[in-house]
Structure 1
Amino acid sequence: MDPRALPPRVVIDPGLPRDVWARLWSGPHLLRMARTGAEPKASGGRVLLLLVPWIAVLFYLIGSLSAAAIVAGAVGVIALLRHANVAATQRDLRQRLRLARQYAAHYVLPEDLDYPCQRLLRRAQDAVDAILSSAVQRAGFIDTIDNQVTLPEEVWQIAQRLARLSAMHAEHRRLVPRVLPSGLEDAFRPYTTALDAAWTSLSRRVRHLEEYARQVTRADHVYHAHQRLETLAARTPDYQRLIADTVRDDLAHRHIRELGEQARQVRRLFEESVLQARRTAGELLRTPLT
């Protein structure tokens, strides 16, 4: 399946305090509850406590008083422990739900977007994933720290604008008649044009991200080839001696020179690919959305 056909992930403002960001990220269902105004269901932890006396009566009728007391005590302890655990879980849920409501403006859910905007956000997320998971990123050949800060911020800015655009698309569909009365087309056109211009701008932004990801992927491929060639380059003298000992003509000198040039050529290609990736990143981040 094409990854871009998958829905986007939740996007949370990377500028939030790290502990707040982590708590919001750990409970996407609570973010949805905060959006819809839903409340956590009441706990059923007290049910077992209410059954304790009835269990004691039952064992008293079919057995002895001491057996009933022992069983009732055991069930009571279990019920109390379960009730305490459920109560603690409920408190944590309520606290996290309050946090989700407090920071409701600091995250974007897939449900906040219409389908075209979902697809566009997913493309941006896939491009950033490709960059941050690349070998050249991990090895520090591109702006590692800068990417880890600016790229999540870029996705957040895109997600925010897509959410606004989706809401305005929905409003536009409600307000603008499908069949406009004659002569009124020009009156509605500026509003449609404004939405189209915003969509075009965000689409261009995502394409730039994808171009950066393609450049990084190309640098990755050259980097892997360069690593393998460096392993061979360590044995270049062995290959040169082999040619000198076995190829007794003018071709030997050319082969020996080529062996010495190959590693340098791939190294140059790698440096050029990294430089191109950095240029693309510079062009993208030179005009931030913030």
Structure 2
Amino acid sequence: MDPRALPPRLVIDPSLPPAISAELRSHLHILRMARSGRRMDTTHNPAILLILPGFLLVLAVVAGSPLLMTAGVGIGLIVLFRWMALDSTYRTTRRRLRLAQAHAQQYILPEELDYPCQMLLRRAQNAVEAILRSRVHHAGLIDTIDNQVSLPEEVWQIAQRLRRLSSMHAEQGKIIPRDLPTGMEDAFKPYTSALDAAWTSLTRRVRHLEKYAKQVLKADKVFHTHTRLEALAAKTPEYQELLADTVRDDLAHGHIRELADQAAHVRKLFEESILQARQTAGELLRAPIGPDDMSGPPAVRPPRV
């Protein structure tokens, strides 16, 4: 399956402390419980398991039966260990649910977006992932905008707006009749145009990210070639010596110049690709998401699936 067609991943506000973010990210089912408003089922509280052995012990004392006493103690021990395990799970789940509810506005689930918005968010996530996994990023060669901080924040901002756009699009679909009376189309047009403009703005924003990722991947390829050439360049004296010893002087000088020229050419390509990536990153910063970033004709929004 094409990775671009996969649903987006969970998005969490990057301003959250790492420990809280990791806790939320690792328990997606708890986040869904919190979002749906579900509560813990108190009828299944593990403490209820203690009723049976307690009843047997009371009955044994009243009846004075050693057999019932032994059975009550045995069952009590089994239930106690079972209760300790279940109670720990119950308390942990309840704590995680409270955490998810407390930070309900700081994460976005994939299913909160309609299909077109899901695909747009996935494109943004793929672009950011490609940038952060690149060798030039890890080498600190393109981090002029602090990618590790700025790019997750960028995805979060895009995801928030896509969630709002999805909600308003669904609301509009319920309000606007499918078959409008003649002459009434223009009355609804400003509302549909507003959503189209928002979609255009967000699409443009994602394209900026994809352009940046494309430049970074290009720089990555040149960087790979550059590092290989650097390894060979360290052995240049050996090659020069070999040529000088085995080739006529006029040919040797030409080959030696080719070695130097090729190294300079690859270095120039590498520097240019890094510069282009940095310039694209600068463009990304100069085009923040905002209400004014809605100029130009609306992009065509894919149909809902």
What is the TM-score normalised by the length of structure 1?
A: 0.89
Residues 171-202 of structure 1 deviation map (CA, whole Å, 9 limit, x = unaligned) = 11111111111111111111111111111110
Tell me how far 1:81 sits from its aligned partner.
Answer: 2.4
State the match for 2:223 in structure 1.
223
State the match for 1:4 in structure 2.
4
State the match for 2:170 in structure 1.
170
The reply to whether residue 22 of structure 1 matches residue 22 of structure 2 is yes
Residues 130-189 of structure 1 deviation map (CA, whole Å, 9 limit, x = unaligned) = 011111111111117711111000000000000000001101111111111111111111
The reply to whether residue 212 of structure 1 matches residue 209 of structure 2 is no
State the match for 2:192 in structure 1.
192
User: Using the alignment, how far apart are the partners of 2:41 and 2:221 within structure 1?
Assistant: 52
The reply to whether residue 247 of structure 1 matches residue 247 of structure 2 is yes
Aligned residues: 282
Where structure 2 has 5 or more consecutive residues not aligned to the other structure, the ranges are 58-64, 291-305
User: Using the alignment, how far apart are the partners of 1:55 and 1:218 within structure 2?
Assistant: 75
CA contact (8 A) 2:14 2:153 kept: yes
Structure 1 vs Structure 2: percent identity of aligned residues? 63
State the match for 1:60 in structure 2.
none
Tell me how far 1:94 sits from its aligned partner.
Answer: 1.7
Tell me how far 1:254 sits from its aligned partner.
Answer: 1.3
1:173 is aligned with what amino acid? Answer: G
State the match for 1:104 in structure 2.
104
Tell me how far 1:245 sits from its aligned partner.
Answer: 2.3
Tell me how far 1:18 sits from its aligned partner.
Answer: 3.1
State the match for 2:149 in structure 1.
149
* Aligned CA distance change for structure 1 residues 90 and 144 (closer, same or farther; 3 Å): farther
User: Using the alignment, how far apart are the partners of 2:252 and 2:73 within structure 1?
Assistant: 94
CA contact (8 A) 1:138 1:144 kept: no
Give the stretch that moved more between structures: 21-30 or 154-163. Answer: 21-30
State the match for 1:285 in structure 2.
285
CA RMSD after TM alignment: 2.3
Secondary structure of the structure 2 residue equivalent to 1:250: helix
2:111 is aligned with what amino acid? Answer: E
Give the stretch that moved more between structures: 181-190 or 138-147. Answer: 138-147
User: Using the alignment, how far apart are the partners of 1:253 and 1:8 within structure 2?
Assistant: 57
Tell me how far 1:285 sits from its aligned partner.
Answer: 1.4
The reply to whether residue 271 of structure 1 matches residue 271 of structure 2 is yes
Tell me how far 1:92 sits from its aligned partner.
Answer: 2.2
Tell me how far 1:105 sits from its aligned partner.
Answer: 1.4
CA contact (8 A) 2:124 2:155 kept: yes
User: Using the alignment, how far apart are the partners of 1:167 and 1:189 within structure 2?
Assistant: 18
1:218 is aligned with what amino acid? Answer: K
Residues 178-230 of structure 1 deviation map (CA, whole Å, 9 limit, x = unaligned) = 11111111111111111111111101100110110111111111111111111
Where structure 1 has 5 or more consecutive residues not aligned to the other structure, the ranges are 57-63
2:8 is aligned with what amino acid? Answer: P
Residues 108-131 of structure 1 deviation map (CA, whole Å, 9 limit, x = unaligned) = 111110000000000100100001
CA contact (8 A) 1:123 1:206 kept: yes
Secondary structure of the structure 1 residue equivalent to 2:289: coil
CA contact (8 A) 2:219 2:274 kept: yes
State the match for 2:79 in structure 1.
79
Secondary structure of the structure 2 residue equivalent to 1:222: helix
State the match for 2:294 in structure 1.
none
User: Using the alignment, how far apart are the partners of 1:71 and 1:252 within structure 2?
Assistant: 98
State the match for 1:132 in structure 2.
132
The reply to whether residue 95 of structure 1 matches residue 107 of structure 2 is no
